[in-house]
Amino acid sequence: MATSRATGRALGPRLLTYVESKKNLAGSACGLVGVALTLTGVAGTYWPLVVAGLYGAGALVAPPEVPAPPVPPEPAEQLGFVREDFARLQEYVGEVDLPSEPAGVLTGLLDLYAAMLEPGWVAGVLAADPEAVHALTRAIRTDVPECVDTYNRTRWWTRLTAGGESPERHLERQLTLLREEAERMTADLRETEARRQQTHTTYLEGRRET
């Protein structure tokens, strides 16, 4: 009984979707032509086959349904997802044994990310800049994990084949570049907030003069 009810609930939305689809509308229109032919006596005794055939033909030639493009989340909503990814990133890198120099750079980088993502006015400024949200999302979800993963893989091979620049040096350089990017991002956000403050000051001064 419970399975039957669950199946019925699952079929309900699908049936409603098909009823409203272009295929059903086109098939129904052609089926009505078959009904008209039946009423005029053209279809004769084979009218059920005529109606069904015209319905099927109409449904077949109907253009396919074009799915609606996905609606991207608002920047403020996306920050919530980024915070979840950042928490997973912190947990992951906390389990990786890194040399002191790259570990220090990584700590500073993660501190910058945490400051930008902390709920409050700073996150509000960040959420108002979709490009900054995209850059931060890419760094947390892709760039930093890729740096650490590549270091781990390269370090393993280095144990077998010596020579070349050390994986630690590459990792430190990569993390330094990401930290410089994050510092530029925070500087841009700070500049945006300074311009907003200046705009408000100008507005207040203009209101005083009127």
For the stretch 36-86, pLDDT in tens is: 666 666 666 666 766 677 667 666 666 666 665 555 556 567 788 999 999
Query: Are 137 and 82 in contact, with CB atoms under 8 Å apart?
Result: yes
Which residues have CB under 8 Å from 47's CB, separation 6+?
34, 37, 38
- The C-alpha atoms of residue 174 and residue 182 are separated, in whole angstroms, by 13
Q: What is the pLDDT of residue 130?
A: 85
Q: What is the pLDDT of residue 154?
A: 85
- pLDDT, tens digit, for every residue of 112-167? 999 999 888 788 888 888 888 899 999 999 999 999 999 888 877 665 566 556 88
| Predicted pLDDT of residue 87 | 95
pLDDT for position 137:
93
Q: Is the pLDDT of residue 108 over 50?
A: yes
33: which residues sit within 8 A by CB, 6+ positions away? 54
- Tens of pLDDT, residue by residue over 75-100, are 567 788 999 999 999 999 988 888 88
Query: CA separation (Å) from 128 to 36, 54, 121?
Result: 60, 55, 11
Which of 15-19, 57-61, 181-185, 200-204 reaches the highest mean pLDDT?
Answer: 181-185
C-alpha to C-alpha distance for 131 and 137, rounded to whole angstroms: 10
**Can you give the length of the chain in residues?**
210
| Sign, Cα dihedral of 152, 153, 154, 159 | positive
Residue with tokens 């979709």: 130
Q: What's the confidence (pLDDT) of residue 1?
A: 46
What one-character DSSP code corresponds to residue 71? P
Q: Report the alpha-carbon distance of residue 48 to residue 28 in Å, rounded.
A: 14
Give this prediction's pTM.
0.60
120 torsion bin: left (phi>0), alpha (psi -120 to 50), beta (else): left
Task: Give the count of beta carbons closer than 10 Å to the beta carbon of residue 59.
Answer: 19
Among candidate residues 175, 101, 186, the one with its CA nearest the CA of residue 139: 175
Q: Given this model, what pLDDT does residue 67 score?
A: 61
Do the beta carbons of residue 75 and residue 130 sit within 8 Å?
yes
Single-letter amino acid, residue 183:
E
